[in-house]
Structure 1
């Protein structure tokens, strides 16, 4: 990056803007996710696939929320060099929370697609045990991928530094950014979008307009919004900042605008822990309507099979 290009104005704006954004996200996110865990663990008597996935998602959101006070502090204060290991741990937890949420939402979309679009196969593929081990697999995957990667992003130094900022050149290498964009966002996004719209189409084709069916559609739209709204701008910002580090974008004005954009986008991506509350709100309806949804899908498929056999 061009040393003649000053980012002091951007840093000055973000010192105050991060506090304005992070404080409500931290307070509401903590309250909503703790409340969700209390409901799922204490008040819902039966563990279903949906409640297991949502419990895992709430835990991922809390993992994202935990480092936010440290992130707010690091914006306005330099940390001494001996706190670099602590910073790497906090950064790892933060990114595990982000990408764990992404993959958990993807699993929820796939599980719902199987349940509604393939109800006969769902009897063999879906179970609380399968959902539990899927969540365990997601946790192991993101912990292994993010922790081993983030710890290499900070080179040992002897000067004060800003945690959550100024990753080393290894953090912006083409290999890292390509994997982050493709496997961290684009692939899960394609799966979520496909499963969501396919499920909505099947529900509409069934011809049912019951309140339970409408509630299921609301769940799908809320999950889709909880995925696309926070994570699309942040990954676009990462891509643009990568182009800056690669020298593709050299104009100073463009660099400062991209720096401001990626920092705001990354701040707003944390709102996912609050948007997921929409999923928690509808989860009780989904738990009660699971059998009803199975029945509608099976009747619809039977009708299609019967109609085909008559031709």
Structure 2
């Protein structure tokens, strides 16, 4: 009921009033996260930087052939490196407050974080669609897939996520004193319409596309009787990649939704609010681990997909030849 009412201007004011009147303290949560975030961020930053740099070297200088897969993989590696850029500043912001004149720079860092996160999500979704077309429709893939199409799609992803994250610059627009970057977003950051777009278009739709494409690919691979060892290997990789996407990003977006309920006053219990605050901060921190996994996981799947795609094409060609000879 509260969530429904928050979509009106009157209820938004009431939600803000409930939060102001709430005397809950989160000092214990902030104290715990000060150390825990450093434990999470430092390994992610080190390994993510090494793995994504190696991935770019392999894609750009070793393979040297710009196919659809390598273009998407390069775009994903760039998105993951962009995610790592604000991480040292996030580690600094976990312990120290920033002066008021640093608000524009903080908003820029926050926008880069969201650009890279949702750019990675949409790039992974496009990889799944491209993989689905290549395996499920190998003959139509010649018309639907090309390096030029992949480049256009990647450019559109950048334009989309950069434009969609522009509201981030209003998250710290108010206030004249010291503040903590990546913390304490203003009410503009919890606008109901913005949260709905973030949850639905930013996560649920790409996740649904990824799940549907993965299921259809697995069915196609299992229906093929050619080279079962390669097919089974590809199925395992597809399920692994699906888990790598869903496991980090599902808790973080669930946490964002729960925190939205807290800001609207739908969850008023202090203990519940403290647990939600801890949950959303841990989930958002752990979601960054995808930048370490993406660097090599999607590179190896392109080799498996090429092998299986060739197998399916041979199978379809064999069937067509048999059906023609029978006629």
Category of TM-score, reference length = shorter chain:
over 0.9
Q: 2:202 aligns with which of 174, 184, 188?
A: 184
The structure 1 residue matched to 2:251, chosen from 233, 237, 244, is 233
Q: Aligned in 2, Cα 1:122/1:101: closer, same or farther, shift over 3 Å?
A: same
8 Å CA contact 2:125, 2:206 repeated in 1:
yes
1:294 paired to 2:313: no
Q: Give unpaired runs (5+ residues) of structure 2.
A: 1-18
- CA deviations over 1:142-197 (Å, ceiling 9, x no partner): 01111x11012222321000000111111111100000000000000000000011
* 2:73–2:299 contact (8 Å) kept in structure 1: no
Deviation at 1:304, TM superposition (A): 6.6
**CA contact 1:53–1:104 (8 Å) conserved in 2:** yes
Residue 102 of structure 1: CA displacement? 0.2
Contact 1:102 1:185 in 2 (8 A): yes
How many residue pairs get aligned? The number is: 307
Instruction: Give, in whole Å, the separation in 2 of the partners of 1:304 and 1:198.
Output: 20
Q: Do the aligned residues in 2 keep the contact of 1:110 with 1:195 (CA within 8 Å)?
A: yes
Partner of 2:264: 246
Output the aligned Cα RMSD.
2.1
Q: CA deviation at 1:299?
A: 4.2
Give the structure 2 partner of residue 199 of structure 1: 217
Name the residue aligned to 2:285: 267
**What displacement does 1:222 show?**
3.3
Contact 2:47-2:292 at 8 Å conserved across structures: yes
Per-residue deviation at 1:284?
6.1
Cα distance in 2 for partners of 1:32, 1:205 equals: 35
CA contact (8 A) 2:98 2:178 kept: yes
How do 1:136-151 residues align onto structure 2 when only pairs under 5 Å count? Answer: 136-146=155-165, 148-151=166-169
Contact 1:50 1:283 survives alignment (8 Å): no
Write out aligned runs for 1:1-311 (5 A). 1=19, 3-146=22-165, 148-280=166-298, 282-283=300-301, 285-286=303-304, 290=306, 292-301=307-316
Displacement of 1:106: 0.1
Q: Provide TM-score, normalisation by structure 1.
A: 0.93
- 2: CA distance between counterparts of 1:44 and 1:213? 24
**Of 223-232 and 209-218, the range deviating more from structure 2:** 209-218
Which runs of 5 or more residues in structure 1 are unaligned?
A: none
Question: What are the superposed Cα offsets for residues 263-287 of structure 1, whole Å, 9 maximum, x if unpaired?
Answer: 000000000101213424514624x
